Amino acid sequence: MGSITLQNVSKSFGEAAVIPSIDLQINDGEFVVFVGPSGCGKSTLLRLIAGLEDVSGGRILIDGVDATARQPSQRGLAMVFQSYALYPHMSVRSNIGFPLKMAGMDKAEIDRKVADAARILNLTDYLDRKPRQLSGGQRQRVAIGRAIVRSPECFLFDEPLSNLDAALRVNMRLEISQLHQQLNATSIYVTHDQVEAMTMADKIVVLNKGRIEQVGSPLELYHNPANLFVAGFIGSPKMNLISGAAATPHGAPTIGIRPEHVTLSTESGTWKGKVTVAEHLGSDTFLHISVDGIGQVTARAGGEFAARHGDTVFVTPDTDRIHRFDDKGLAI
Q: What's the CATH code of the domain at 299?
A: 2.40.50.140
Q: Are residues 134 and 8 in the same domain?
A: yes
CA distances from 260 to 217, 237, 305, 318 (A): 20, 9, 14, 9
pLDDT of residue 1: 62
Q: Are residues 49 and 177 in the same domain?
A: yes
Is 244 a member of any domain? Answer: no
61 class by beta-carbon count within 10 Å (0-12 exposed, 13-18 middle, 19+ buried): middle
The domain boundary residue, chosen from 230, 265, 280: 230
**pTM of the prediction?**
0.89
Q: Are residues 265 and 222 in the same domain?
A: no
Say how far apart CA 162 and CA 326 lie, in whole Å. 36
Pairing mode, strands 57-62 and 4-13: antiparallel
Give the pLDDT confidence of 57-97 residue by residue, as tens digits.
999 999 999 999 999 989 999 988 877 788 999 999 999 99
Q: Are residues 96 and 205 in the same domain?
A: yes
The domain boundary residue, chosen from 198, 230, 262: 230
pLDDT of residue 136: 86
Q: Are residues 286 and 181 in the same domain?
A: no
Q: Specify which residues 286 forms β-bridges with.
A: 279, 300
Is 246 a member of any domain? Answer: no
Q: What's the CATH code of the domain at 93?
A: 3.40.50.300
Containing structural domain, residue 38: 4-230
In this prediction, the residues of the chain whose per-residue pLDDT falls under 70 are 1
Q: How many domains does the chain have?
A: 2
Q: Are residues 76 and 218 in the same domain?
A: yes
Is 242 a member of any domain? Answer: no
Is 49 a member of any domain? Answer: yes
Q: Are residues 300 and 180 in the same domain?
A: no
Is 239 a member of any domain? Answer: no
Is 235 a member of any domain? Answer: no
pLDDT of residue 153: 83
Q: Are residues 31 and 178 in the same domain?
A: yes
Q: Are residues 152 and 31 in the same domain?
A: yes
Q: Are residues 265 and 186 in the same domain?
A: no
Q: Are residues 177 and 295 in the same domain?
A: no
Is 238 a member of any domain? Answer: no
DSSP output for 15-52: TEEEEEEEEEEE-TT-EEEEE-STTSSHHHHHHHHHTS
pLDDT of residue 164: 78
Pairing mode, strands 271-280 and 284-291: antiparallel
With a CB cutoff of 8 Å and minimum separation 6, the contacts of 152 are 2, 76, 77, 78, 185
The domain boundary residue, chosen from 230, 261, 288: 230
pLDDT of residue 115: 95
Q: Are residues 175 and 297 in the same domain?
A: no
